[in-house]
Amino acid sequence: MKRLLFGTTIILLLAGASFAQNSSAAEAAIRKVMDAQAAAWNKGDIEGYMQGYWISDKLTFVSGDTITRGWQATLDRYKKGYDTREKMGTLTFSDLEITVLSKDAAIVLGSWHLKRAKDDPHGKFTLVFRKLKEGWRITLDHTS
């Protein structure tokens, strides 16, 4: 009985260590996606920014009282709202809390801030990331 308990404990410890290692890799990959998004935004490249999102009609973007469904509709919304470099400003993300839920799902809480000549809008977001064949992508974005 002691051997069974010892063996089970070892297996659980190894599984926990493996998940922690995978979680660290997932967190790093998610941060890389978000860093690439900020860099693209700050170059005025909305299409590049959108590469962090799931290219699917099932993508969901929530802002204010508006729900936008689909990658193309979300891209069109961004292009309409940020049609000049002045409106885009400089984007930064901060206060990131990444919670890896499984090998292919994570939630990110954080803050966004736009530095612009005339104002400094900012807010919070909750992102659902999924690991897809093309890598980690945002499948749901709820931004305030």
CATH number for the domain spanning 93: value is: 3.10.450.50
Instruction: Provide the pLDDT for residue 128.
Output: 98
Work out how many domains the chain is built from and give that number.
Answer: 1
- Pick from 57, 61, 71, 78: which is nearest to 128 by CA? 61
Listed in order, strand segments (DSSP E) in 39-134 are 60-63, 66-69, 90-102, 105-115, 122-132
Whole-model pTM: value is 0.84
Reported confidence tier of residue 132, pLDDT bands at 50, 70, 90: very high
Residue 16 has pLDDT above 60, yes or no: no
* Domain boundaries, position 16: 2-143
Q: What is the largest CA-CA distance in the chain?
A: 71
Reported confidence tier of residue 19, pLDDT bands at 50, 70, 90: very low
Instruction: Provide the pLDDT for residue 14.
Output: 42
Instruction: Provide the pLDDT for residue 3.
Output: 57
